[in-house]
Amino acid sequence: MPAPPRHRRRTPRHPPPIPAAFTAERTSAHALRTTEGQILVAHLSARGNFLALSPPPPHGHQGERVTHPTSSTRTTTRSHTKALRAAALVASAAMVALAVQSGPANAAAEREAGATAVALTGSARATAIAQAQAGAPATARAIGLGSEERLVVRDVVKDADGTVHTRYERTYAGLPVLGGDLIVHQKKNGNRNTTKATEVRISVDTKKAAAAVAAPEGARKVVWAAGGTPVLAWEKVTEGVDHDGTPSELHTITDARTGEVLHTYDAINTGTGHSQYSGTVGLGTQAGGSQFELNDSLRGGHKTYDLNGATNGTGSLFTDADDTWGDGTAANRQTAAVDAHYGAAVTWDFYKNELGRLGIRGDGAAAYSRVHYGNAYVNAFWSDQCFCMTYGDGAGNQKPLTSLDVAGHEMTHGLTASTAGLRYSRESGGLNEATSDILGTSVEFYAANADDAGDYLIGEKIDIRGNGTPLRYMDKPSRDGNSADYWSRTVGRLDVHYSSGPANHFFYLLSEGSGAKTVNGVSYDSPTYDGSTVTGIGRVKAYKIWYKALSVYMTSSTDYAGARTATLQAAADLYGSGSAEHQAVAAAWTAVNVK
Ligand SMILES: [Ca+2]
Ligand SMILES: [Ca+2]
Ligand SMILES: [Zn+2]
């Protein structure tokens, strides 16, 4: 039974706003004093991720909150006045009501609910971490650590039933303890237990004489507790490039007394992901503690988080023991993360290799992805405020909106925001949406993934209509029942996901030409407003023209007439005034009634 997307005729709603605190670009630094009186600073990201241990700065960093072990707290934060701008994939957020439990309380369900983590906003998380850090000396004593040992909070997870799980790194005589991480589980009733990476008691002579072997150049002194009896060791990081061009970050740990190599590992990994839509894919991951994280250090450090049904915060970073992720089905929580992480990576590569742009903002910084937003949420959205992408799990939580074209579509909203800034209403809004469809589609073609071959359809993998048909069509946008094929005076009154039609149609015509054509096994038949025949110049030239127009000629108020001017200028710049490409741009616009 075909089901059209819900609420398709309603006024579009923006996705739920993200609390301002969540977006603050802050890191926090937590100072701790070693037994030797040395102060070490643990740096945590705004999202509470452990970043590094370092000596204290001479003055507090601007933009960091420094919490000292004493009660003194100093706060300097950047102001963030950016208004919320968010752009979604479909015309309106189709929210399915949360299931309401009826009948007698089910003990198993109650326990499950109680043991489920509650979403912490960025500020709540930072507060929880600061509190845990303030209490760390007492915790260290309570769990029986030696006098030389200190705890550095890395993460705090709070369950609905009040249980708090605090993850710590450890120092010994001021030295980082590799393999010394532990988790303290504190129940609401005060009961506490501990999970440790090692149960071995640390007793190491850290004096100079104990380090008989000279430090390798650039190495740092650590306690190695990840194998047998903890020893004093040197950790050296060697950055290089693998045979296939993949950067490597090789950590070598040598015994400081004997010079014996105790352990080596490459912190830059390629994990294996079993995606729902793109088959088996390589994933940029990072070794963190005893497990791997979805953290793509080759692409700005893009991370993928599990919102676990929450609608704010970042949830928790995906981790895995063996670096093999997901199983290709929605039943496995990691699967949606595989698709999202892969989509972000391909989009990054497409921008870099095809558009010459390093990251969405062009500054090499990664966005991040959040999956499992809400319950059966049938949408995906980009938010400039958090500089992140968010994906719902789709109808029945079975079809996450994480396909390649959707990922490319969402990231491209960030690209548009940092370039032309096309206002998200009327004709400029339609061009904004079209830009996301155009480059999202280009990302899909660029991936050259046989499990999701390139096509001029949007969302053909996510079954958003429930009858197997795509969300949008570029060869003839009206195939979706709502979008405009051609420009008219009233096109700007349509929802931006439908006024995008003429520009999507332009892109198809410019790439492939008018009439019937089959590409990668998909049949198209693209009409023209005036019955003219348009000859395509190929997709690659078409997206290069569109991107150049977007990045150097379009502005926040560009309308269809302005888009014609901008793309003609871009084509003239790239291929010459009067060139075949330049003429094709003019012909394709005319064919969608933009003259
Ligand atoms: Ca496809
Ligand atoms: Ca597609
Ligand atoms: Zn969109």
Ligand showing the shortest atom-to-Cα distance for residue 450: 1
Place of tokens 């006098």: 147
* Structure token digits, residue 461: 């993998």
Report CA-CA distances (Å) from 439 to 217, 351, 435, 470, 504.
46, 9, 6, 17, 10
* Structure token digits, residue 410: 């969402």
Residue 456 CA, ligand 2 centroid: distance in Å: 6
Residue 343 CA, ligand 1 centroid: distance in Å: 13
Q: Is 136 helix (H, G, I), strand (E, B) or coil?
A: helix
Give the dihedral sign, CA 55/60/62/67.
positive
Terminal-to-terminal C-alpha distance of the chain: 42
Task: Give the catalytic positions in this structure.
Answer: 410, 497
Ligand showing the shortest atom-to-Cα distance for residue 12: 3
List pLDDT tens digits, range 277-296.
999 999 999 987 778 999 99
Residue 125 CA, ligand 3 centroid: distance in Å: 30
Residue 48 CA, ligand 3 centroid: distance in Å: 29
Residue 318 CA, ligand 2 centroid: distance in Å: 26
Q: Is 134 helix (H, G, I), strand (E, B) or coil?
A: helix
Ligand showing the shortest atom-to-Cα distance for residue 405: 2
* Structure token digits, residue 523: 């049949």
Which residue from 538, 594, 552, 549 is spatially nearest to 571, judged by alpha carbons?
549
CB 287 within 8 A of CB 276: no
Residue 444 CA, ligand 2 centroid: distance in Å: 6
CB 502 within 8 A of CB 563: no
* Structure token digits, residue 326: 């997901």
CA distance linking residue 48 with residue 155, whole number of Å: 6
Residues near 268 by beta carbon (within 8 Å), at least 6 away in sequence: 246, 247, 248, 249, 284, 286, 297, 298
Which H or E element spans position 548?
helix 539-548
List pLDDT tens digits, range 389-432.
999 999 899 999 999 999 999 999 999 999 999 998 999 999 99
Which residue from 255, 195, 194 is spatially nearest to 229, judged by alpha carbons?
255
Residues linked to residue 569 through DSSP beta bridges, in sequence order: none
CB 197 within 8 A of CB 290: yes
Taking a 5 Å cut-off on Cβ, the residues next to ion ligand 2 are 405, 444, 455, 457
Residue 49 CA, ligand 3 centroid: distance in Å: 29
CA distance linking residue 21 with residue 539, whole number of Å: 41
Helices 539-548 and 580-591 cross at an angle (nearest 10°) of 80
Q: What is the 3-state secondary structure (H, E, C) of 338-393?
A: HHHHHHHHHHHHHHHHHHCCCCCCCCCCCCEEEEEECCCCECEEEECCCCEEEEEC
Determine if residue 537 is left, alpha or beta; phi over 0 gives left, psi from -120 to 50 gives alpha, anything else beta: alpha
* Structure token digits, residue 561: 């007439």
Please give the torsion angle defined by the CA atoms of residues 419, 26, 367 and 305, in that order, rounded to the nearest 10 degrees.
-150
CB 534 within 8 A of CB 593: no
Which residue from 72, 62, 71 is spatially nearest to 27, judged by alpha carbons?
62
* Structure token digits, residue 79: 């102001």
CA distance linking residue 246 with residue 248, whole number of Å: 6
Determine if residue 364 is left, alpha or beta; phi over 0 gives left, psi from -120 to 50 gives alpha, anything else beta: left
CA distance linking residue 110 with residue 127, whole number of Å: 28
CA 132 to chain centre: 27
Ligand showing the shortest atom-to-Cα distance for residue 500: 3
Residues linked to residue 371 through DSSP beta bridges, in sequence order: 306
Residue 87 CB neighbours (<10 A):
26
* Structure token digits, residue 100: 């309401």
CB 301 within 8 A of CB 294: no
Give the dihedral sign, CA 416/422/428/429.
positive
Residue 500 CA, ligand 3 centroid: distance in Å: 10
CA 230 to chain centre: 37
Taking a 5 Å cut-off on Cβ, the residues next to ion ligand 1 are 452, 455
Ligand showing the shortest atom-to-Cα distance for residue 447: 1
Ligand showing the shortest atom-to-Cα distance for residue 454: 1
Per-residue pLDDT tens digits of the chain, which is 595 residues long = 333 343 333 333 333 332 222 222 234 444 444 333 444 444 434 443 433 444 443 332 333 232 332 222 233 333 333 333 456 676 543 222 222 223 344 776 776 677 666 766 667 878 888 999 999 999 999 999 999 999 998 778 787 888 888 888 899 999 999 888 888 989 999 899 898 888 899 999 888 667 778 888 889 999 999 888 999 999 998 887 666 555 677 888 999 999 999 888 776 667 899 999 999 999 999 987 778 999 999 999 999 999 999 999 999 999 999 999 999 999 999 999 999 999 999 999 999 999 999 999 999 999 999 999 999 999 999 988 889 999 999 989 999 999 999 999 999 999 999 999 999 899 999 999 999 999 999 999 999 999 999 999 999 999 999 999 999 999 999 999 999 999 999 999 999 999 999 999 999 999 999 999 999 999 999 999 999 999 999 999 999 999 999 999 999 999 999 999 999 999 999 999 999 999 999 999 999 999 9
Residue 539 CA, ligand 1 centroid: distance in Å: 15
Which H or E element spans position 383?
strand 380-383
pTM of the model: 0.67
* Amino acid at site 99: A
DSSP state of 202: P
Residue 410 CA, ligand 2 centroid: distance in Å: 13
Helices 404-418 and 333-355 cross at an angle (nearest 10°) of 50
Which H or E element spans position 75?
strand 73-75
Residue 89 CA, ligand 3 centroid: distance in Å: 4
